[in-house]
């Protein structure tokens, strides 16, 4: 008796359907994990900028300012930080970047469809010679391109920072509202 080896067309179709369902579940999960990782990376970069600013302000005795700044330009008068930011020593104390003031650090524009916004009205962060943040607490909202992955980084007046759950308003901003 001759026996055939292999699979039937029906078995093949069932296997393809199962593979498609599994791929449909796995791909969005992987994309969400990647978006969360990118948001964490930006939060770490911003945290590094906070720490550097506070350290330099304390060690030099002059204010250090972090502001949104596209590459090769001075400070933007904006709450959008997605195009990069810079830290500079405010030597003359006028709270504006002047070409003679040293740039301590520059961060590049955010990649991968990420956006970052600061609290309305907080277009710069000033670290004083005691390491504290001038003004009120400031929150940074981190958004992925899908608008679904959101993070929040809060900087207190004392110069301490923490990751926080985003508010409803922050989530709405990320979703384009």
2 — pLDDT class (breaks 50, 70, 90): low
4 — pLDDT class (breaks 50, 70, 90): low
pLDDT at position 75 is 92
Domains of the chain, first to last: 9-174 (3.55.40.10)
173 against 57, higher pLDDT: 57
pLDDT at position 9 is 76
Residue 27 has pLDDT above 70, yes or no: no
pLDDT digits (tens, 9 = 90+) for 40-56: 888 888 889 999 999 99
Contact in structure between 149 and 35 (CB atoms under 8 Å): yes
């Amino acid at each position: 008796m001759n026996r055939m080896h292999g699979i039937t067309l029906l078995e093949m179709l069932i296997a393809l359907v199962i593979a498609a369902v599994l791929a449909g579940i796995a791909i969005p999960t992987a994309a969400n994990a990647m978006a969360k990782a990118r948001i964490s990376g930006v939060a770490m970069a911003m945290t590094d900028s906070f720490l550097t600013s506070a350290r330099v302000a304390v060690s030099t005795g002059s204010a250090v300012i972090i502001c949104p700044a596209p590459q090769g330009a001075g400070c933007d008068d904006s709450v959008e930080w997605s195009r990069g930011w810079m830290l500079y020593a405010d030597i003359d104390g006028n709270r504006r970047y002047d070409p003679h003031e040293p740039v301590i650090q520059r961060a590049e524009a955010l990649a991968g469809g990420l956006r970052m916004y600061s609290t309305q009205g907080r277009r710069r962060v000033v670290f004083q010679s005691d390491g504290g943040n001038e003004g009120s607490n400031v929150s940074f909202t981190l958004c992925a391109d899908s608008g679904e992955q959101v993070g929040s980084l809060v900087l207190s007046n004392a110069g301490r920072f923490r990751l926080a759950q985003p508010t409803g308003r922050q989530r709405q901003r990320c979703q384009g509202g």
